[in-house]
Structure 1
């Protein structure tokens, strides 16, 4: 019985490690692909209309295609499609910031801040081994609140300060989501590396764009 329990425990550890390893590999590849899509968007002079269409297409793929492909090899192609669409969608925003006198520095700082945050959160989740799934409910309602407030601000308030506040909130929410997702992968709660990859990519994407907005605002050029 003890031998069986030990073998089962070892098997579970191997599964967890494989999910984590596969997630990090696919996430790395999709981040590179998303970066290339952003570059293509910049050099092709894509407008904000194209960015909106690309974002809507990415949401549609996440909602309707990913659930049907996440358990097969087609899910990998779906993850790349999502990364490409989201990467392309931020091209016009990057073009806007890169046109500023210190635009390249702002983009680099936003990338660095996002990367450091992700590695710090991953390191913490890996070493504490705590289950942070209790954050999921709060994250869900927080995101619903952000969406509602964004709509209100866009149509009624039109406040730059309020928009900046929401960017700060998104950075915190995405950090909490990454912590929850990483702990779920490490503790065996998430066993699908494709779903995990897409979730982490979305969090990194949103954190980066929000940090860029914040940095641009405080630079005095946004």
Structure 2
């Protein structure tokens, strides 16, 4: 990964440019995922509490906004590490909660495996076929708004059934985001690897958490 935060602005990026963005994105994604995992491990070891929901939402969007504004500079890299570290640290208490139940470790392993398989499969499909997934943009935009409203409603009214439905919706939305973002890179629609990394990171993070929740509900029904 180099320090070309933003590639040359071209109407039709060359294959070399697109491959460079793809390489930088996946390299940076691997590094930030490892950093996030380390932060989660630290949180688990110190038994850190979860960040309150409203505070988490504020920090989440504030960091995303900061990254978007600084994505063409080294500050964007620093904020991305801060963001992924924060997300990982907030994941630690959730993992501890699942580990406290009898089959928690199996649920975490299953959710992790399913997430890895889904991400690798979707990414490989987008890279090898080079299909244009821009048609998913409307679904992603509407889906994001619906899920945000649903998450707030589930939190305010404490509706477990809605929370489960949201998890299913987030799985579908995350898969769509992975296809769309990878397709944008492959076809030259995305030339900034910081933006691409953050989108893929959030998709993977949400996919893992949603699968974990779905598996937890299915397991408890047994």
CA deviation after TM superposition for structure 1 residue 91, in Å: 1.3
CA deviation after TM superposition for structure 1 residue 55, in Å: 5.4
Paired position in structure 1 for 2:47:
45
CA distance in structure 1 between the aligned counterparts of 2:155 and 2:68, rounded to whole angstroms = 31
CA distance in structure 2 between the aligned counterparts of 1:52 and 1:98, rounded to whole angstroms = 25
Paired position in structure 1 for 2:212:
212
CA deviation after TM superposition for structure 1 residue 169, in Å: 0.7
Q: Is the 8 A contact 1:129 1:183 kept in 2?
A: yes
Cα distance, 1:41–1:147 mapped onto 2, change above 3 Å: same
Unaligned stretches of 5+ in structure 2? 1-9
Please provide the CA RMSD for this pair: 2.0
Paired position in structure 1 for 2:3:
none
Q: Which moved more, 1:125-134 or 1:114-123?
A: 125-134
Q: Which has the larger radius of gyration?
A: 1
CA deviation after TM superposition for structure 1 residue 221, in Å: 7.7
Structure 2 residue 193 is the aligned partner of structure 1 residue 193: yes
Structure 2 residue 192 is the aligned partner of structure 1 residue 178: no
Paired position in structure 2 for 1:120:
121
TM-score scaled to structure 1, two decimals? 0.89
Paired position in structure 1 for 2:71:
70
The aligned length equals 212
Aligned to 2:51, the other structure's residue is in SS state helix
Structure with greater helix share of residues: 1
TM-score scaled to structure 2, two decimals? 0.89
CA distance in structure 1 between the aligned counterparts of 2:16 and 2:201, rounded to whole angstroms = 24
Q: Is the 8 A contact 1:55 1:89 kept in 2?
A: no
CA distance in structure 1 between the aligned counterparts of 2:75 and 2:160, rounded to whole angstroms = 41
Q: Is the 8 A contact 1:175 1:203 kept in 2?
A: yes
Cα distance, 1:80–1:179 mapped onto 2, change above 3 Å: same
Q: Which moved more, 1:212-221 or 1:187-196?
A: 212-221
Query: 4+ residue stretches of structure 1 with deviation over 6 A?
Result: none
Unaligned stretches of 5+ in structure 1? 1-7
Q: Is the 8 A contact 2:71 2:194 kept in 1?
A: yes
Cα distance, 1:11–1:66 mapped onto 2, change above 3 Å: closer
CA deviation after TM superposition for structure 1 residue 134, in Å: 1.7
Q: How does 1:12-31 map to 2 (within 5 A)?
A: 12-31=14-33
CA deviation after TM superposition for structure 1 residue 203, in Å: 0.5
Cα distance, 1:51–1:112 mapped onto 2, change above 3 Å: farther
CA deviation after TM superposition for structure 1 residue 159, in Å: 2.6
Q: How does 1:25-174 map to 2 (within 5 A)?
A: 25-49=27-51, 53=55, 56-63=58-65, 65-156=66-157, 158-174=158-174
CA distance in structure 2 between the aligned counterparts of 1:151 and 1:212, rounded to whole angstroms = 20
Q: Is the 8 A contact 2:36 2:84 kept in 1?
A: yes
CA distance in structure 1 between the aligned counterparts of 2:108 and 2:57, rounded to whole angstroms = 20
CA distance in structure 1 between the aligned counterparts of 2:94 and 2:13, rounded to whole angstroms = 46
